[in-house]
Amino acid sequence: MTVSLETIANLAKRRGFAYPSSEIYGGLRSAYDYGPLGVELLRNVKAEWWRAVVQLRDDVVGIDSAILQARQVWQASGHEAAFTDPLVECSNCHTRWRLDQLEDPEQCPNCGMRNTFSEPRLFNLMFKTFMGPVEDEAGLVYLRPETAQGIFINYENVRRSNRLKLPFGIAQVGKSFRNEITPGQFVFRTREFEQMEMEFFCRPAESGAWFNYWVEQRFDWYVGLGMNPEHLRVRPHTEDELSHYSAGTVDVDYQFPWGWDELEGIANRTDFDLRAHTEHSGVDLRYFDEDTGERFFPHVIEPAAGATRTTFAFMIDAYREEEVRGETRTVLAFHPRLAPYKAAVLPLSKKPELIEPAERIAADLRRSLMVELDVTQSIGRRYRRQDEIGTPFCVTVDFDSLEDHAVTIRHRDSMLQDRVAMDKVGSYLRDRLDP
């Protein structure tokens, strides 16, 4: 089904996935705080990316580079001079827009007036700050607009310390900051966001094959975690879209409520970054092949995904509305590995004789799983709440449990129920949470 942006945003706030930042002070446009459910969902998305890109491979390692880096990093990469968007301002309402994102470049989307835009000027998207007590040019630094450069400037450190030979990758997950002119679409485009990026270094002659390999791998990752392949597409960049460093780029796009938009870009960055940092720093970042005696700059394939927008897309894709016995059931049908809570433990009533075993089961499950103990409202309402937040299993302790020492486990998607011995609940769930 097609779900509206408003529906998802309302559910996200009501159930504790995401809240507008600084809301009690009127909100800070384009910044969001992740609530108890949102932080778990985001954490699970990042963990699944790390699992696929680093943990399950023997040719990729990880790092965590600093948000603040020397200004020369951004001069060498071209960001200080060229990381810009075309900005126009409406002379009637004084709102500012990215020229390349206006449907009608002559009409202001805010006030509707025509032919009121200023001449476009280039606007640098990097956030400036200053290191040290004096705010002067010598102390100027930027909040990083991408995590990739932290990998490139550590390329030789990582290669040496881990004795890596081509081909190999370096991955990281972390915050980036871009002073977007027109943020919007809830958490899709914000000024503070998280990225999941990997730079895969290879021999220049092999870069085409590795590019195709990573495009396939990254598309399959989304489908493997339950995303509908009909809602995904691989879109090659046209010649005029390509970044100056790219020999080829494709986007993995998702069909959001407002149309197709980017989840992830996979780019062949050639040897641009290592060559640029060698020229600007004076440190030789060429790779020495001990077998052939060659010294050369590796080429780089970069899969770069937005962690926050990917989390948002998984939430949209999981949304269901179903008719059950004359009532509408709302479900977030997350893949079990993504679900914020893996199970909810529900005593049938608040009587102490049911609360005590429920608490014991929940405490035991928490050793390895995120679970919730929910004792309020009727059992039907509690089932509906757990469906709406995407919990795959509900474990119900009823009065029969006092006699047979078993519980009823309800499956979110099928609503089928199994009777399981109390001491087998953990193994039962773990067997079904990693399909």
How far is 41 from 389, CA to CA, in rounded Å? 10
10-residue averages of pLDDT along the chain (435 residues): 86 92 86 94 97 97 94 87 78 83 85 86 81 81 92 95 95 92 78 94 96 97 96 90 78 94 94 94 94 94 95 95 86 96 95 94 95 92 95 96 95 95 95 81
Query: What CATH number labels 5-80+134-316?
Result: 3.30.930.10
Residue-level pLDDT at 110: 86
Q: Quick one: which of 405, 372, 375, 211 has its CA closest to 302?
A: 211
Q: Quick one: which of 7, 39, 45 has its CA closest to 388?
A: 7
Residue-level pLDDT at 137: 79
Residue-level pLDDT at 276: 93
Strand partners, 200: 169, 301
User: At the top level of CATH, which class does the domain 341-432 belong to?
Assistant: alpha beta
Asked whether the beta carbons of 82 and 244 are under 8 A apart, the reply is yes
What's the sign of the alpha-carbon dihedral 377, 345, 363, 419?
positive
pLDDT by residue (tens digit) across 200-211? 999 999 999 999
Residue-level pLDDT at 7: 92
Cite the beta strand spans of 110-258 per DSSP E: 121-124, 128-130, 140-143, 168-177, 192-202, 232-236, 248-256
Distance of CA 417 to the CA centre of its chain: 33
Going from N- to C-terminal start, the domains of the chain cover 5-80+134-316, 84-124, 341-432
Residue-level pLDDT at 1: 67
Residue-level pLDDT at 125: 81
Distances (CA, A) of 104 to 100, 107, 114: 10, 6, 9
**To 5 degrees, how large is the angle CA 198–CA 142–CA 84?**
80
- Under DSSP, is residue 306 helix (H, G, I), strand (E, B) or coil? strand
How far is 146 from 265, CA to CA, in rounded Å? 13
How far is 343 from 175, CA to CA, in rounded Å? 30
